[in-house]
Chain A
Amino acid sequence: MSVPRSSFIRDVVWQRLRHNRMALIGAVIVLIMFVMAAAASLTGLDPAAIDVSQRLLPPSAAHPLGTDDLGRSVLVRMLYGARISLLVGFVAVGISTLIGILFGSLAGYYGGWIDTLIMRFVDIMLCFPTFFLILAVIAFLDPSIWNIMIVIGLTSWMGVARLIRAEFLSLRQRDFVLAAQALGASDGRLIFRHILPNAMSPVLVSATLGVAGAILTESALSFLGIGVQPPTPSWGNMLITGKQTLGSAWWLSVFPGLAILITVLGYNLLGEGIRDALDPRLKE
């Protein structure tokens, strides 16, 4: 009898994900956001092109989402804003995941005083209200998009570190890890070939949810004027521009606001779907 080659991920997780309607909706939203970001340059339009004669026009055929107070197309600016959100989301989460994996692995693998030291540091970091920490740091730094990504990354790795540590603690005592150790495998081989690949599932979930968090944080910072600086468009700073004219030109803030809402929802739905799909306790 020939058994088709497969893995747990392909067989079970993918099957479950496909049958989870909410997760699929989330995946489609995430996909649409990628398409938006890619489509930005295809329009050939400059998001900063000012045309005062076209200012504050309501949605129409020429400007599907209207124009802002400087006559720029809201649609084009939103497409470019999707790029910023995507960039911030992925880079910030990438930084936080790497730091979290590094600290979590060291703490979980070596234990003892290394563990105590790292986990107390995690506790200290968790004591700071993250958003105000970011505000304080950005106040000292030049509020460029790179600084924002780095600061978000540096303040959001603690959850990943805890997850990875917990996984390491249980995997460290599993028979296949002991078998590799009994075989004479080095620490590096045990960590990177045996333990870490088996510890990544919860990290995938937390990273997906983390993207939503990072996008939200960036939007909030831009809304407060210390995030992405005009004229570079970001959903957050478009929102603040629209605030002054909310009564007369609703389209300036409603569309970016909706974009933020739907995107964050999409990542959350997808993340929760992956979490359910990876949960070995859930049966069909």
Chain B
Amino acid sequence: MSLLEVKNLRKSFRISDSLGRTTGQLVAVDDLSFSLEKGEILGLVGESGCGKSTTGKLIMQLLKADSGQVFFAGKELSGLSSRQLRSHRKQVQMIFQDPFSSLNPRMTVGAILSEPFVVHKLAPAAQIRNRVIQLMEKVGLSAEHEQRYPHEFSGGQRQRIGIARALAVEPQLIIADEPVSALDLSVQAQIINLLKKLQQDHNLSYLFIAHDLAVIEHVSDRIAVMYLGRIVELTSAEELYRNPRHPYTEALMNAVPTPDPSHPRPVALKGEIPSPITPPSGCHFHPRCPYADDHCRRSAPNLVELGKDHQVACHHHQQVGKYLIREK
């Protein structure tokens, strides 16, 4: 049994005008299915606005799905009462993208980190302070930071506070929503190493959301590539790099910068990501795809199994790869 299983998840948002009349809908997540095993790191990658964060919030039950199910350790989450849900929340925690808005500006670090213990009555009042200090040390902060306010910290330190908060309840799964994309490059590596170390120490599972492959490459066991609310390719990290079968994955890999100036510059992906309010017909990717033909404009490909643990949604997956720039 998988730790997390997502089945046919769909979420749309209503678009309304100033009078409150519905004028359209934005499908943020469409028919999403994947699973995640205990101890595994699943990377979820895609451009801004493709529904990655919405997926994270749906799994966290911070948003209500239109249809589909989320199972955690075999238990369906949408059926939980609000009391059961609050108790369930100990098992799944989230790390947010922006460390400047994810901490309450009017609470000290000590107060922020004791909250999980208070909410779930995890420790007697006299011991909470010790537990908070242990947590802070675990993520590389020192005990003297306890009385400070979030605005006195750098981005990297704030992200450490966010990680400590998520760890406090000893969850099994952590949803890391672009945990390093708001940080300086040098700090990114530190935070990623911290996340990896914590994963090993506590046998955690991560759903690691990112918008570029470079970050996710070293972290993930498996990678799901999302485009406009749908998964277009899902396979192991190794296989994805060796053998991408979706033109979008191929384009993303070409876009990863390399230090070699003689390396051929990638052909930039044509155009912007289309509006999810009026998605293109057929395959959502066809307006930007070098392989697209009439068939792609008419019918949307399903996610098909290519072989062992490699799924792709493309009519032309056999041809994909001819534009891929290989490193020498």
Q: Judging by beta carbons under 8 Å apart, are A8 and B90 in contact?
A: no
Residues from chain A with Cβ under 8 Å of B102 in the complex? 175-176, 179
A67 to B56, CA, bound (A): 75
Chain A 107-162 interface residues, beta-carbon cutoff 8 Å to B: none
Does B103 have its Cβ within 8 Å of any Cβ on chain A? yes
Q: Which of B4-12, B92-100, B247-255 contacts A (4 or more CB under 8 A)?
A: B92-100
Known: A6-B152, A178-B62. A183 touches B165 (CB 8 A): yes
Q: Judging by beta carbons under 8 Å apart, are A8 and B151 in contact?
A: yes
Does B244 have its Cβ within 8 Å of any Cβ on chain A? no
Chain B 92-129 interface residues, beta-carbon cutoff 8 Å to A: 92-94, 96-98, 101-107, 115-116, 119-120
Q: Shortest distance in angstroms between A9's beta carbon and chain B's nearest beta carbon?
A: 9
Q: Which of A28-36, A184-192, A235-243, A245-253 contacts B (4 or more CB under 8 A)?
A: A184-192
Q: Judging by beta carbons under 8 Å apart, are B169 and A7 in contact?
A: no
A8 to B107, CA, bound (A): 12
Q: Judging by beta carbons under 8 Å apart, are B86 and A175 in contact?
A: no
Question: Which residue of chain A is the closest to B103 with respect to CB atoms?
Answer: A176
A61 to B23, CA, bound (A): 76
A3 to B147, CA, bound (A): 11
Does A55 have its Cβ within 8 Å of any Cβ on chain B? no
Does A18 have its Cβ within 8 Å of any Cβ on chain B? no
Residues from chain A with Cβ under 8 Å of B105 in the complex? 8, 176, 198
Does A70 have its Cβ within 8 Å of any Cβ on chain B? no
From A179, A186, A198, B94 is in contact (CB under 8 Å) with: A179
Does B87 have its Cβ within 8 Å of any Cβ on chain A? yes
| Residues of chain B at interface, number, CB under 8 A | 32
Chain A 18-67 interface residues, beta-carbon cutoff 8 Å to B: none
Residues from chain B with Cβ under 8 Å of A3 in the complex? 148, 152
Interface string of A174-216 (1 = CB under 8 A from B): 1110111111111001000110011000000000000000000
Chain B 109-161 interface residues, beta-carbon cutoff 8 Å to A: 115-116, 119-120, 147-149, 151-152
A184 to B91, CA, bound (A): 10
Chain A, interface size category, equals: 20 to 34
Q: Judging by beta carbons under 8 Å apart, are B147 and A5 in contact?
A: yes
Q: Judging by beta carbons under 8 Å apart, are B104 and A183 in contact?
A: no
From B97, B104, B119, A198 is in contact (CB under 8 Å) with: B104
From A5, A175, A176, A189, B119 is in contact (CB under 8 Å) with: A189
Q: Judging by beta carbons under 8 Å apart, are B98 and A183 in contact?
A: no
A179 to B176, CA, bound (A): 12
Q: Shortest distance in angstroms between A63's beta carbon and chain B's nearest beta carbon?
A: 51
Does B197 have its Cβ within 8 Å of any Cβ on chain A? no
Q: Judging by beta carbons under 8 Å apart, are A194 and B104 in contact?
A: yes
Residues from chain A with Cβ under 8 Å of B292 in the complex? none
Q: Judging by beta carbons under 8 Å apart, are B86 and A186 in contact?
A: yes
Residues from chain B with Cβ under 8 Å of A193 in the complex? 104, 107
Residues from chain B with Cβ under 8 Å of A178 in the complex? 57, 62, 94, 96
Question: Which residue of chain A is the closest to B89 with respect to CB atoms?
Answer: A184
A5 to B148, CA, bound (A): 6
Known: A5-B147, A178-B62, A197-B106. A183 touches B101 (CB 8 A): no
Does B162 have its Cβ within 8 Å of any Cβ on chain A? yes
From B87, B147, B162, A184 is in contact (CB under 8 Å) with: B87
Chain B 9-28 interface residues, beta-carbon cutoff 8 Å to A: none
Does B289 have its Cβ within 8 Å of any Cβ on chain A? no
Q: Shortest distance in angstroms between A115's beta carbon and chain B's nearest beta carbon?
A: 12
From A6, A7, A181, B62 is in contact (CB under 8 Å) with: A181
Does B60 have its Cβ within 8 Å of any Cβ on chain A? yes
Residues from chain B with Cβ under 8 Å of A8 in the complex? 105, 151
Residues from chain A with Cβ under 8 Å of B116 in the complex? 183-184
Q: Judging by beta carbons under 8 Å apart, are A175 and B96 in contact?
A: yes
Choose among A6, A174, A179, A186 the residue with the greatest number of B CB atoms under 10 Å from its CB.
A179
Residues from chain A with Cβ under 8 Å of B87 in the complex? 184
A183 to B116, CA, bound (A): 6
A178 to B62, CA, bound (A): 7
A180 to B105, CA, bound (A): 13
Q: Shortest distance in angstroms between A218's beta carbon and chain B's nearest beta carbon?
A: 34
Question: Which residue of chain B is the closest to A189 with respect to CB atoms?
Answer: B119
Q: Which 6 A-B pairs have the closest CB atoms?
A: A175-B102, A184-B89, A184-B86, A175-B96, A176-B104, A175-B101
